[in-house]
Amino acid sequence: MSYQVIARKWRPQTFSEVVYQDHVSTTIRNSIKNGRISHAYLFAGPRGVGKTTMARIVAKSLNCASGPTDNPCGKCRNCIEIRDGHSFDVMEIDGASNRGIENIRELRESVAFAPVEGRYKIYIIDEVHMLTKEAFNALLKTLEEPPPHVVFIFATTEIHQVPETILSRCQKFYFKKMAVGAIADHLAHITKNEGFTIDESALYAIARAADGSMRDAQSLLDQVISFSEGHINEESALAILGIVPMESHIALLRHIADERAADAIMELDRVINLGADMPRYVAGFADTLRAIRLMKNGIDLKPILGLSAQETDMLNSAKALFNDEELSVFFRIITDLQRDLRFSPNERISIEMSVLDLIAAKARPTIAEIVQKLEEGTPQKDEKKKNERLTEEDRTPHNSAGKTPQKDEVSKHQLTKTAVKQEHRTIPAATNANAPSAAVIEPETAPVPDTDEGNDPLTEKLIDLFHAKVINNKGEQ
């Protein structure tokens, strides 16, 4: 038998083998078990998550020799023909290449004929959103009231392009993007049965690169197995994937934390000389910043990011380098860099300038640090005011008995402040220079307490101006 790629060899054949889509498989199994079989299903979701696979399993369940059953045997003639793709009663149609109204007319004509061997005639239309508007309209009547032996199963990655008139006639199932942990566990199961060994860190690297697609992960695993000989380590996996390990991101963060610009630029130079995909490297750096900030806020990363134990330890060692505010600033800088890289004629210059911006941001004091310094400086300011008050008391005049003036005596300073306040309240529109000056300034009925601390700058300025005016008036007299 010729070689089969892992994605085809390990395609699930029963509902229980489908990974991470339990909400879909459980619903369909129960509907088949209870005899509630719909005439039309629509499977929507991203690429490589099991839409076409689920459609084939539904076809086997309906046409199995022991069916309809929620657990097809996989051994009868109908199951084998459906698995191998040459059953007369199960027709897989590519919506991208059979998208015209003529193709739908042929389909409508064939619907009237009874199945050859099985109970149902099943039409699986992949990428159904590629059909033209006219083709959808031609399908409406047949889809609404098909013959009892016909079942339609549509699959699409762009459900928003399917007309509402089609959606309303189908049972809709939404397939989820697969979690990193679920992909890594399934890849470990495959490598074990294929007779290979693989490091956990390599598994997670492949799973993250697949971006939620099991088919992509299996294709990448096929490449890595071909590159390695028996044992697959992280270095081999990253070399095939073109991904730089997390150690480089952590090293760069340490250089930024220590404000070592030369070492940071040299680390970038080393990565560039390795031939790494720099936009992907920047994306990995952003993921590292995200992981550190989530970890600092007490969030468990394993179910979210699917990190290996070694990667988690590295992040733990780096999270003390920065505070939350710095990580927020860093993430904004890197997000701007990712946007700029799409249009930058020189990726290296853009990345180097952004790394220098990160170092400058680290060198600047944060808002929390500024507030802390202001709070630390408050006691010193209070002490300075206290010393100024003591100095003012030393300048206060004493009587012959060595005592300070009685309370009913108004000091010159108090009179000055009283007059300033009176003048500040009633400022004349114009001052006649030849008018005689008052020889005595009558104070207010109640003396103003002498409180030096807290005088606002305007009052102090007016006091100085008043002193200058009195001196000028005396000189004129």
Sequence letter at residue 214: M
- Whole-number pLDDT of residue 112: 84
Residue 71's nearest CA partner among 39, 25, 40, 10 is 25
C-alpha–C-alpha distance, residues 430 and 366, integer Å: 52
Q: What is the pLDDT of residue 449?
A: 46
What is the Cα–Cα distance from 149 to 123, expressed in whole angstroms? 11
Question: 420 pLDDT band (50/70/90 cuts)?
Answer: very low
From 105-109, 204-208, 224-228, 369-373, the region with the lowest mean pLDDT: 369-373
Name the pTM for this structure: 0.67
Q: How far is CA 342 from the centre of its chain?
A: 19
Q: Enter the tokens of residue 40.
A: 């039309």
pLDDT at 436: 45
pLDDT 10s digits, 32-74? 988 899 999 999 999 999 999 999 999 999 999 887 888 898 8
Q: Number of C-alpha atoms within 13 angstroms, CB side, residue 153?
A: 23
Average pLDDT for the chain: 80
Strands of the sheet containing 40-44, edge to edge, are 90-94, 121-126, 150-156, 40-44, 171-174
Q: How many CA atoms, within 13 angstroms, populate the side-chain half-sphere of residue 229?
A: 0
Residue of 151, 142, 135, 134 whose CA lies nearest to 43: 151
CA distance readout (Å), 266 to 26, 131, 225: 54, 53, 33
Residue 439 CB neighbours (<10 A) = 7
Give the tens place of pLDDT for each residue, 176-204: 999 888 899 999 999 988 888 888 888 88
Is residue 41 helix, strand or coil? strand
pLDDT of residue 314: 87
Kindly report, residue by residue over 243-301, the tens digit of the pLDDT: 788 888 999 999 999 999 999 999 999 988 887 888 888 988 999 999 999 988 888 87
Q: Which residues contact 198 (CB under 8 A, 6 or more apart)?
A: 187, 188, 191, 231, 232, 233, 237
b/e sequence 150-173, b meaning 16+ C-beta within 10 Å: bbbbbbbbebeebeeebeebbeeb
Return the structure tokens found at 85.
């793709």
Contacts of 394 (CB under 8 A, 6+ apart): none
Report which DSSP code applies to 428.
-
Measured CA to CA in angstroms, residue 388 lies from 19, 223, 381, 394, 455 at distances of 78, 79, 11, 10, 13
- In DSSP notation, 342-410 reads TT-S-HHHHHHHHHHHHHHHHHSPPHHHHHHHHHHHHHHHHHHHHHHHHHHHHTS---TTS-PPPTTSP
Q: Where are the domains of the chain?
A: 6-174, 180-241, 247-363, 410-422+440-477
State pLDDT tens for residues 202-232: 888 888 888 889 999 999 898 888 887 778 8
Lowest mean pLDDT among 162-171, 173-182, 230-239, 246-255: 230-239
The CATH fold assigned to 247-363 is Zinc Finger, Delta Prime; domain 3 (1.20.272)
Q: Which CATH architecture has domain 180-241?
A: Orthogonal Bundle (1.10)
**For residue 67, what are the contacts with CB-CB under 8 A and spacing of at least 6?**
32, 60, 61, 119
Compare 310 and 381 and report the one with higher pLDDT.
310
CATH superfamily of 6-174: P-loop containing nucleotide triphosphate hydrolases (3.40.50.300)
Tokens (6 digits) for 95: 């919506």
Does residue 409 surpass a pLDDT of 50?
no
At position 395, the amino acid (one-letter code) is: R
Q: 354, 337 in Cβ contact below 8 A?
A: yes
Does residue 436 have a cis peptide bond before it, meaning omega lies within 30 degrees of 0? no
Contact 219, 237 (CB under 8 A): no
Q: Is residue 156 within 8 Å of 185, Cβ to Cβ?
A: no
